[in-house]
Structure formats: C-alpha cells, structure tokens
Amino acid sequence: MPEFDQVRPLRWQEGGLELLDQRLLPGREHWIRCTDHKAVAQAIRDMVVRGAPAIGVTAAYGVVLAAMAQPDPEHIEVEQLEGALVLLADARPTAVNLGWALGRMRDCLSEGAQPVARLLREAEAIHDEDLAANRRMGGLGAALLEPGSRVLTHCNTGSLATSGFGTALGVIREAWRQQHITEIYASETRPWLQGARLTAWELGRDGMPVTLVADGATALLMSSGLVDWVIVGADRIAANGDVANKIGTYSLALHARSHGARFMVVAPSSTVDMSLPDGDAIPIEHRDGEELLSIGGQRIAAAGARAWNPVFDVTPARLVDALVTERGVLDQPDSAAMRTLFGDGAGR
C-alpha cells in the first residue's frame, strides 16, 4: 500500500545544508543552500524552515557547518563553537527541540578525535531518529482512530515540519493509509497560512484530499458534528502536560471539548520539557506585527492599526484527550503520567 509520504524539507548535500524555502510554497519549490551556521540561523528565524522537529535537525547541521569553518577542524574545543551555539539557540525560542538538538551536538563535541566527522554523524542520527519516531507515532496515533473518523488539523505538522512523515499529519497519513479516515479538514492558520499553503500542498502532493476551513469557522464545523478528532502537534510540552503550539490551538481545544470532538497532541519526546512545571513557564515567541497587518508584503490593515502577534498559545492538559509520543500514548496526561513516561528529563 502507498505510504503517502513524498515530501522532505531539508537535505545535507556535498558539504552544505539545503532547505526547501517554505515561504514560497505552494507557488514555487525553491531550495536554499546554507554553507555556514549564520545562514542556518537566519533561515530558522525567517521561517525558511519551520516546525519544531525540523528546526532541531536544521540547527544540528548548522553546528556541523560551524565546525567545518574553524581554522583547525581536526582540533575543536566547545568554547570555539559557543557563539554559533548561542546564535542558533536564539533563532526561535519556543521550540524546545532546538535546544535539545544543540545539547546533543555540544555533548558530541567533547567525545574525542575527528570532531567534524563525529558532529556530522550525530546530526544525521538526529535526522534519522526523528523520521523513525514519526513513523512510530503515526502507528500509535492511528490506532486510536475508529474507521470512518473525520479529523481536523491545524498549522502544518507534516513532512515539511519534520524529517519526514510528520507528527500529527503522520497520524493522519497512517490512518488514511489504513482507511480509517473519511474526511480531512485543515484550518488556514493565520497569519502565515501554514494550513492553506503547506498542509494543503503537502497532502495534495501525496494524493490525499483536504478541505480548508477558515480559522473562525472551526467552531461551527465542530458544532455541526463533522469532526471526530482534532489532531495537532506541539512546540513544547511542560511537565504537567500543558502544550504550547501554533496560535489558535487553544481555541480548537476549547471548541472540541464543547462539541464532543476528541483532542490529540502528537509530538516526539524531544518536545517534552520536564524542567518546566506547567504552561505558564513556557516562553511564548512574539513576532513582527507586520505579519498580521500584511499578506505577502501587501498591507491589508487600515493605516494606523497596530498588531499583537503571539506565535503560540498554551493548551491546558485538562483539554488533551491523548498525548502521543514515540515512547507511548498518555490518555488525559497529567503530572504523574508525564513523570511515569519521561522521568525528570526530556528527549529520547
């Protein structure tokens, strides 16, 4: 049977990192080649690449590029890469995968000879492990969906946001492959329109039908009885199960609870941050208000209007029916369940 998985957002090729420029989709498929860590950090900041797992993998390759640029690549101390590590870590503050991947690269650097080769192997391992985790989560999440399910997803959580296959969209892919899903809805996801531009494009590339819904219409959709599951990803999950994800996720969780739809969060364990007690401690990124006031460089708001532009919101754990990671599934996660599955740490 087909796997419905044709898209990849990044590749290491001939000593450089190539990123599919997601800002130009769906109109144009253009790859940007990064040959130093500064270009990688800028690409993350500018949302050439986005999605917490993909950001982590991209940053890992950025460390490799920083090491390759050292005067003596065969003898590198951690202190020599400190500036690069800080620059990459600061590119997007909410996605915990970024710091997790950089931590692995930092640890790898202190292990012995041939640092560049070791760092490249570690980055490739992070890359491969993410894809394997996504496929496992796809199977675990799909098992929760009854045949005939209708699903709604938010933002883009597919191959474009990961190493491939996706998190929430990976569950949808696998459930579609098993013929458990009859309808896929995607919210448009303002202001960057990741649902309209990226999720719809990605599903179309894989031959999966999708119906777009305006962000403001999702409550009506659910009240009409047309959604059985809302399935979303995460950028950071606190120790009590609170979930930071793309702005609008909290609203979807409230609507789902009000209208009898179930709410599933799908994310790799590298997204879990057991150092934060709850969602109030999760840093929320705010971006330039022009992203809200304009579309594609064309201003749509009235002159003089200002914008409040948080990129993420926090969904309380009490609204989450199932948390799916590659380590297993938590029904209605809470602090005790999170400690049982993840202990005091985070990551795989």
Distance from CA of residue 335 to its chain's centroid?
Answer: 23
Closest listed residue to residue 60, CA positions, set 84, 79, 42: 84
DSSP letter at 196? I
Residues 245 and 265: beta-carbon distance below 8 Å: yes
N-term to C-term CA, the chain: 30
Cα(165)–Cα(208) distance, integer angstroms: 13
Choice among 5, 130, 215, 235 that is catalytic: 235
Cα(309)–Cα(133) distance, integer angstroms: 32
Cα(249)–Cα(312) distance, integer angstroms: 8
Helix, strand, or coil (residue 28):
coil
Q: Parallel, antiparallel, or unpaired for β 298-299 and 294-295? A: antiparallel
Residues 265 and 329: beta-carbon distance below 8 Å: no
Distance from CA of residue 125 to its chain's centroid?
Answer: 18
Name the one residue in this structure whose structure tokens are 């979930």: 243
235 is catalytic: yes
Residues 210 and 187: beta-carbon distance below 8 Å: no
Cα dihedral: 294, 297, 299, 301 (round 10): 0
Which residues, in sequence order, are bridge partners of residue 272? Answer: 237
Name the one residue in this structure whose structure tokens are 């938590």: 330
Distance from CA of residue 96 to its chain's centroid?
Answer: 10
- Active site residues per annotation: 235
